[in-house]
Structure 1
Amino acid sequence: MRRGELYRYRDPSGVSGTGVVALLVEFPPNEDGHQWVAVKWLGHNPYIAFWPGIGDLLETHGHLGESEIRWLDPDPFDPEGDPALTNTGLYPL
């Protein structure tokens, strides 16, 4: 598992605000390749949601590039450990 944050640069909806708007945990891949993600939303209306992968989460809540994942831990699922991702902590879109 690894931890991360959903960081929003701009909030076009005006609902969740900017900065760190959610905390997340990515689970190891299951037999069909999905890496489920648990997301704890912060702010005035906190809740927890589950997504079948980071791509699915960002497709809905990425606001067309206005948000990104900032990883707090290195990627334990990448045996080669891409140094570019480890150094920035960002999830490539």
Structure 2
Amino acid sequence: MQRFQLIRTEDVSGCSGTGIVAEGVIFSDRTAVLRWVVAPCSTGFYASIDDLIFSHAHEGRTTVEVIDKPIPAEFAGG
């Protein structure tokens, strides 16, 4: 499991602002959960971190900054 922050350099929708706009977790099976830190603070579940990035990257204007080092496969059940 790895924690991450969603960092937005440009707010194309005018809703979330810039800087750290969300935080989340990537599970060992690549499932991702995202929690917005800007109102309204909603939570989203994604089949993969790639799906989350596809939905929220805004053509490179948003990045995922992983906080934790990956867990080695032998400890992650992989």
How many residue pairs match? The answer is 74
Identity %: 32
Q: Is the 8 A contact 1:28 1:77 kept in 2?
A: no
Quote the Cα distance in structure 1 between the aligned partners of 2:72 and 2:18.
29
Greater relative contact order: 1 or 2 (C-alpha under 8 angstroms, separation 6 or more)? 2
Q: Which residue of 1 aligns with 2:67?
A: 72
Q: TM-score, normalised by structure 1?
A: 0.74
Q: TM-score, normalised by structure 2?
A: 0.87
CA RMSD of aligned residues (A): 1.4
Alpha-carbon distance, 1:78 to partner: 6.3
Alpha-carbon distance, 1:36 to partner: 0.6
Query: Any gaps of 5 or more consecutive residues in structure 1?
Result: 30-34, 80-93
Q: Which has the higher strand share?
A: 2
Alpha-carbon distance, 1:77 to partner: 5.0
Which segments of structure 1 move beyond 4 Å, counting only runs of 4 or more?
Answer: none
Quote the Cα distance in structure 2 between the aligned partners of 1:41 and 1:76.
25
Distance 1:20 1:70, change over 3 A: same
Q: Trace 1:50-69 onto structure 2 (pairs within 5 A).
A: 50-69=45-64
